[in-house]
Amino acid sequence: MKQSLVFQIPEAVAEIFDCLENADFQTVAVGGCVRDALLGNLPHDWDAATAATPEEMKKVLSPFRLIETGLRHGTLTVLNQGMGLEITTFRREGSYGDSRHPDTVTFTRSLEEDLARRDFTVNAMAYSPTEGLVDLFGGQEDLKAGRLRCVGDAKHRFQEDALRMVRAMRFASVLGFSIEKTAADAMNDQRERLSYVAWERIGEEMKKLLCGKNAASVLRNFPMMAGQIFPELLPCMGFEQHNPHHFGTVWEHTLRALEYAVPELPVRLAVLLHDVGKPHCFSLDESGIGHFYGHAHISSQMANEACRRLRLDNALRERVVRLVDLHDGPMIDREKLVRRRLRQLGEEAFFQLLEVQRADTCGLAEPFCRERLPQLAEIEKIAHMVLEQGACLNMNQLAISGRELLALGMEPGPEIGRVLRELLAAVSEGELANEPADLLNFAQQICKIE
Ligand code: ATP
Ligand code: MG
């Protein structure tokens, strides 16, 4: 069959399918992998669904190593040739009393019922080597049209599980698809139902949404959904800046900046939140020009709250807060200052900050944007040069450690750390050679002075 060309199911997965099929249990690949394969993309994993109950799966697949991932919900992970395949028993979901969990989940032998419970037509297709493509809801047609359409009545499906509204935005952003009108209307009408959904689940979807190619346009099309998830964005909408650097509102600037931001999560999140503090520190001077003194710091505090609310991990939250806090700092293309920044931030955060500043600059009014971009390019060039030269920018690269300072007669304690930091500062900014003798000499000097 022609479609089998698109579906190059890995050998390790096909073996498991065969095993279940030989025992007379219909087994299919389903959801994201089918969608991605039809789009010509390599699926990142192969999720499978089967008519076998969990107990039947365990029996038939006993030659393989099995992990009981979520057996109660019918999910088993099968390990084969170093690959893990998730298989879930066909399910039918009962009514959703609370907009997030089905009241009952029952297993079924019917693939049709399992596909009918899925969110969007493009996610509700199945494929098996024996049956080919199973597309009961026009998924292929929607895939061709680049359109997200709910399986069944959009309003009802979003009432069942409000997270699907965020998933619609996520897929629209990542796949570059449009959201069909009845679904879009239902989202606008029922956005408040998002309050029934755990923030953590929303956070997971937002992470993917923000890195999608159409993140900015999806947020532009659904500002009220964006505001439901990030209430700190709401005051930015319609907030005029009265400043020649800017045209349009804080929200418009944010969206423009987001359009230009590289698809790296900390950068995208920081850009989304970089100016949320602006409406809270607006002032007009006597010539009618608007200012936002201290907005970066206020924005960073608000970003911190937003990341906590969405249960983002600490490392990501701290990075975003730092990027937002520093986004408005001066852009100085002098080598010594570039070295200092590289040392203070570390290489990864340094370049992310540069990307945040670049996106922010691209969101400015034309002349200011043209003026500042070359400066950022220059900073980037210097940074690469400094790194290529193998500059010493962190403690591990320093030619001596605390041990040598102790040998010099220094007392153990926080003083050692302070001296090492000073040595690193001097070395990284090119004032001192990274040689043990020079370092020890310098260490003695700074200790003596105090
Ligand atoms: P990705 O490539 O990001 O993994 P995916 O389509 O596989 O995309 P998942 O979140 O892994 O997305 O979900 C797997 C499948 O389960 C979906 O394709 C869809 O069929 C179904 N699904 C997931 N979440 C829901 C939901 N909230 N409501 C209905 N169906 C859902
Ligand atoms: Mg998936």
Per-residue pLDDT of 394-416, as tens digits, reads 899 999 999 999 998 888 899 99
Q: Output phi, psi for 157, to 5 deg.
A: -65, -35
pLDDT of residue 331: 73
pLDDT, tens only, 283-325: 888 888 888 888 999 999 999 999 999 999 999 999 999 999 9
Ligand 1 centroid, distance to 120 Cα (angstroms): 9
Cβ of residue 164 lying under 6 Å from some atom of ligand 1? yes
Q: How does DSSP assign 418-442, residue by residue?
A: HHHHHHHHHHHTTSS-S-HHHHHHH
pLDDT, tens only, 6-47: 788 899 999 999 999 999 999 999 999 999 999 999 898 999
Is residue 261 classed exposed, middle or buried when 0-12, 13-18 and 19+ CB atoms within 10 A define those classes? buried
Q: Does residue 448 surpass a pLDDT of 80?
A: no
**Whole-structure pTM value:** 0.92
Highest mean pLDDT among 50-64, 102-116, 354-368, 389-403: 50-64
Percent of the residues in the chain that have a pLDDT greater than 70, as a whole number: 98
Ligand 2 centroid, distance to 28 Cα (angstroms): 14
pLDDT of residue 248: 87
What mean pLDDT is reported for the chain? Answer: 93
Take atom 28 of ligand 1 and give the residue whose Cα is closest. 119
d(CA 396, CA 150): 54
Take atom 11 of ligand 1 and give the residue whose Cα is closest. 32
pLDDT, tens only, 143-178: 999 999 999 999 999 999 999 999 999 999 999 999
d(CA 323, CA 357): 9
Q: Does residue 95 surpass a pLDDT of 80?
A: no
Pairing of strands 91-93, 105-107: antiparallel
pLDDT, tens only, 125-143: 999 988 999 999 999 999 9
Q: Provide the 3-class DSSP secondary structure of residue 222.
A: coil
Q: Does residue 360 surpass a pLDDT of 60?
A: yes
- Model confidence band, residue 330 (pLDDT cutoffs 50, 70, 90): confident
Pocket test for ligand 1, best of 69, 115, 118 (most atoms within 8 A of CB): 118
pLDDT, tens only, 105-118: 799 999 999 999 99
Note whether 47 and 41 are within 8 A (CB): no
Which numbered ligand comes closest to the C-alpha of 123?
1
Range 23-47 burial, b when 16+ CB lie within 10 A, else e: eebbbbbbbbbbbbbbeeeebeebb
Pocket test for ligand 1, best of 98, 123, 142, 158 (most atoms within 8 A of CB): 123
Q: Does residue 1 surpass a pLDDT of 60?
A: no
